[in-house]
Structure formats: structure tokens, C-alpha cells
């Protein structure tokens, strides 16, 4: 059978070349406005979601000019490369097919924890002359509805819409999302001994992934709807996310290296230490992190309104490296002052005595008079400022007496 080629102009931006026979027309090539042949094409790429999220199903949705669904087919997921010591993203492959327009929607599903259902995320992908390195990421799912809104209501072309939607998302998340076509997942940027950047963990924190899949997926759908309609998100969502993440931080008394650490299901994804700029942005803090002075949360939407961040640190006993961290002060610390790792302090509150013991980072109620004497008045020594000094502990009086220069002690007076 012999074929002849003919060119069919679909619009000012698209050109289709078909091979014609007596029975069927076979698409030889489709070209976009820049002259790139985008179809027929195979689709290949990687899934750049959280390392702990394992995709179970994928589909390609062929769409029309207004992104309405035409038909759907499955994509093969290859998880072999992810099963290694160093995390590698899952790969996917779709055989060569014809696409009428230079963009498709790709659906990806992840199992939801504990409920037997899957979480579905959609991403619109623009097609080029080569489509073997597509990156699917959570940012794409967050902008999907926004792309639909702009395409259908603003009458913008897909390239303009995509760029505009990602610019709006960058502003909404306070991130620079560059080169989203080739974006590879980048997690925590910073070692265990210094503060770092959330990077691509940020949108997961925004949607409270560290709490549970049900919370995460609910927040995602709320974000998708609000951002899809307006290109912005309400500040209350951001404050809620900051509160949730802040609630996961713990002070360890057994491991001085990680004495201020986020403990959640995303610890495995390196969501461990604080990102000061995230909390500053989320709560709208007017502060200087470099001053080391306590910083109060003044955002009334926060469950931690009126609480403070304090600067704390510890020493790794093996490496002798100091670890500096901002952490949330306890309720008691907000009332009587901070208790950090190198401090030894005394305080009174509501009729009780408290001591802050070095290395414990915790105020403890104390009734032992010998301990209170040391923390409130210091060690009794043979010095002019201490010798024969009389002090009170509760209803009792004590005096600093010295039998010799090296034999001094606080003694209760009768």
C-alpha cells in the first residue's frame, strides 16, 4: 500500500502531517508553534516526590485544547532503581502514542497510610521534541488546578499559563521554583550541626505531611482548590502548618548531638532540624536571629501565640562540635526565663523554687536546701563576699562558715 503525505493546519500554533491511505490517516508528525515535533512520542521520566512515598499507579490523560479529558491509559512504573542504598526516584515509561495537543495530564497514585485508599495527584506536562526526561513533582500537583483555571478563564496559551502558575506558587510558598521541567527532588540542605533549608520538603510541611496521610491529603486538596481559584493561599494555612511542625520538636536529654530535633514520620526524610526562615515567614516574626535574644510569636492565629523561641546549644561528646539551634521555650520558661544547656540558674515561681541544672535544659522544682543554697547563692567559699554571709531558704537561715581556707560550708542557724 502506498501513502502520500499531507499537511493539515490545526491552528496558527499547531501543524499536523499525516500519511493518507484509502482507509486510514496515520499521523506522521505534529509540530508546535516553534516548529518542534512533539507527537507521536513516548513519555519517560522520574517521580520526584518524597523518598518515602512509593507510587503504585500512573496514567496518562490525553486532553483537548481546554484541558478536557479525551482518553486515558496506564503507564508502566519501574521501581528497580529506587531499591538501593542511596535513594533514587522511581522511573516510568509510556510507549509512543499520538497526542493532538502539546500537553498531557499525568495522574500518579500513592497508597494512603492505614485506610486502604490511594492519594491521587495530577500534573500537566508540556510536550517537546524529546520527552524522555519528564520530572513529576509535588509542585506540579499543587499548580494543576491553577493551570486549568487560567487556560479556561484567562484564555492564555499553555506555555504562558504554566510559567504564570509556577510564579504564583513560588510566591505562595516563599520559594524559588526554577526549571520545573527538569526539577529533581532536593531534600534538607544542611548538616546535623547547623540550620539549613527545607528546599523541597517545604510544600510537604505546608500540607502537614509529617502528621499523617489523611491530614496531608486533606490539606493538599484544600490548597489545590484555593490556589487554583485565586493563585494565592490564606495565611491561616501557613500558620497551621508551622504550628504542626513546631509541635514535633523535642528536647533530648540523652543525646546531646540532637538535643533539639523534629521527631515524626518524616524524620526518615531528613525533616529533623529547624529552618529559621520558615518560621519567620510563617509567623511574620519581626526579629533578628543573629541577636540570640528570645523571639516572641506575636501571630494571634497561632496556637503558640505569646510563646517564645530561645537559642540553645550543646556539645557532641564525640566530635566536640557545638550544635546551635533555636527551639520553642517551654511554658515555664516563658514565665521564669530560659534554661539552656550551659546555664545554671535559680528562679522562684508561684511560691516554688526551681533550678536549671547545666546540661539538662530543664527547670526542675527543688526543695533540697543544700541544692537551693548552691543555685541561689553560690558555693560557700573563703572570700570576703561570702564569708559569714547570712541567707534565707524558706523559713530557715544559713550562714557561710569556714574552718580554714579550703573548708567552707553553708550551715543552718539555730
pLDDT in tens, 160-195: 999 999 999 999 999 887 778 888 888 776 554 445
pLDDT of residue 2: 37
Q: Predicted confidence band at 83 (pLDDT cuts at 50, 70, 90)?
A: very low
Of 18-27, 49-58, 197-206, 214-223, least confident by mean pLDDT is 18-27
Whole-Å CA distances, 407 to 84, 373, 377, 381, 397: 65, 17, 17, 8, 20
Q: Where are the domains of the chain?
A: 381-412
pLDDT in tens, 347-392: 999 999 999 987 777 899 999 999 999 999 999 998 888 888 999 9
Secondary structure (H, E, C), 338-388: CCCCCCCEEEEECCEEEEECCCCCCEEECCCHHHHHHHHHCCCCCCCCCCC
Alpha helices in 22-157 (DSSP H): 138-149
pLDDT in tens, 290-348: 777 889 999 999 999 999 998 887 555 555 566 677 888 999 999 999 888 777 899 99
SS3 (DSSP) at 261: strand
pLDDT of residue 197: 78
With 90 as the cut, is the pLDDT of residue 7 above it? Answer: no
Q: State the average pLDDT over residues 193-209.
A: 83
pLDDT in tens, 104-136: 999 999 999 887 899 999 999 999 999 999 999
Cα–Cα distance, 17 to 27 (Å, whole number): 6
pLDDT in tens, 61-79: 999 999 999 999 999 998 7
Cα–Cα distance, 128 to 41 (Å, whole number): 9
pLDDT of residue 245: 95
Residue of higher predicted confidence among 5 and 81: 81
pLDDT of residue 133: 93
pLDDT of residue 406: 87
C-alpha cell at 110: 500513592
Q: Predicted confidence band at 22 (pLDDT cuts at 50, 70, 90)?
A: very low
Is residue 202 within 8 Å of residue 173, measured between CB atoms?
Answer: yes
**Strand order from edge to edge, sheet including 134-136:** 76-78, 90-97, 41-47, 134-136
CB neighbours of 385 closer than 8 A, spacing ≥ 6?
A: none
pLDDT of residue 204: 96
> To 10 degrees, the CA torsion angle through 51, 53, 55, 59?
-100
Cβ neighbours, 10 Å, residue 206 = 28
Amino acid at each position: 500500500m502506498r501513502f502520500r503525505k499531507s499537511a493539515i493546519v490545526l491552528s496558527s500554533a499547531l501543524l499536523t502531517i499525516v500519511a493518507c491511505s484509502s482507509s486510514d490517516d496515520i499521523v506522521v508528525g505534529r509540530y508546535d508553534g516553534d516548529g518542534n515535533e512533539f507527537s507521536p512520542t513516548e513519555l519517560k521520566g522520574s517521580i520526584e516526590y518524597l523518598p518515602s512515598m512509593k507510587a503504585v499507579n500512573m496514567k496518562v490523560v490525553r486532553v483537548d485544547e481546554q484541558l478536557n479529558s479525551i482518553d486515558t491509559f496506564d503507564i508502566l512504573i519501574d521501581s528497580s532503581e529506587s531499591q538501593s542504598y542511596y535513594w533514587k526516584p522511581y522511573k516510568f515509561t509510556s510507549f509512543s502514542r499520538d497526542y493532538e495537543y502539546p500537553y498531557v495530564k499525568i495522574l500518579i497514585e500513592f497508597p494512603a497510610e492505614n485506610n486502604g485508599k490511594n492519594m491521587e495527584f495530577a500534573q500537566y506536562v508540556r510536550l517537546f521534541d524529546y520527552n524522555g526526561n519528564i520530572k513529576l513533582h509535588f509542585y506540579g500537583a499543587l499548580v494543576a488546578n491553577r493551570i486549568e483555571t487560567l487556560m479556561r478563564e484567562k484564555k492564555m496559551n499553555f506555555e504562558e499559563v504554566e510559567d504564570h502558575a509556577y510564579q504564583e506558587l513560588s510566591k505562595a510558598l516563599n520559594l524559588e521554583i526554577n526549571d520545573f521541567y527538569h526539577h529533581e527532588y532536593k531534600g534538607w540542605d544542611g548538616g546535623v550541626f547547623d540550620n539549613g533549608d527545607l528546599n523541597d520538603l517545604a510544600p510537604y510541611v505546608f500540607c502537614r505531611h509529617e502528621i499523617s496521610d489523611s491530614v496531608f491529603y486533606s490539606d493538599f486538596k484544600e490548597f489545590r482548590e484555593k490556589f487554583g481559584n485565586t493563585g494565592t493561599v490564606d495565611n491561616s494555612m501557613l500558620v497551621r502548618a508551622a504550628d504542626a511542625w513546631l509541635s514535633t520538636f523535642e528536647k533530648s536529654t540523652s543525646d546531646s548531638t540532637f538535643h533539639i530535633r523534629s521527631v515524626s514520620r518524616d524524620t526518615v526524610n531528613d525533616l529533623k532540624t529547624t529552618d529559621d526562615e520558615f518560621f519567620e515567614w510563617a509567623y511574620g516574626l519581626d526579629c533578628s536571629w543573629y541577636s540570640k535574644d528570645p523571639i516572641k510569636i506575636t501571630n494571634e492565629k497561632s496556637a503558640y501565640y505569646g510563646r517564645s523561641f530561645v537559642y540553645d546549644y550543646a556539645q557532641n561528646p564525640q566530635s566536640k562540635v557545638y550544635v546551635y539551634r533555636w527551639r520553642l521555650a517551654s511554658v515555664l520558661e516563658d514565665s521564669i526565663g530560659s534554661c539552656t544547656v550551659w546555664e545554671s540558674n535559680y528562679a522562684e515561681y508561684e511560691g516554688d523554687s526551681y533550678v536549671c541544672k547545666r546540661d539538662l535544659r530543664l527547670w526542675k522544682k527543688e526543695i533540697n536546701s543544700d541544692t537551693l543554697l548552691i543555685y541561689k547563692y553560690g558555693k560557700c567559699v573563703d572570700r570576703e563576699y561570702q564569708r559569714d554571709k547570712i541567707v534565707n531558704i524558706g523559713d530557715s537561715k544559713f550562714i557561710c562558715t569556714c574552718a580554714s581556707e579550703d573548708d567552707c560550708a553553708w550551715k543552718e542557724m539555730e
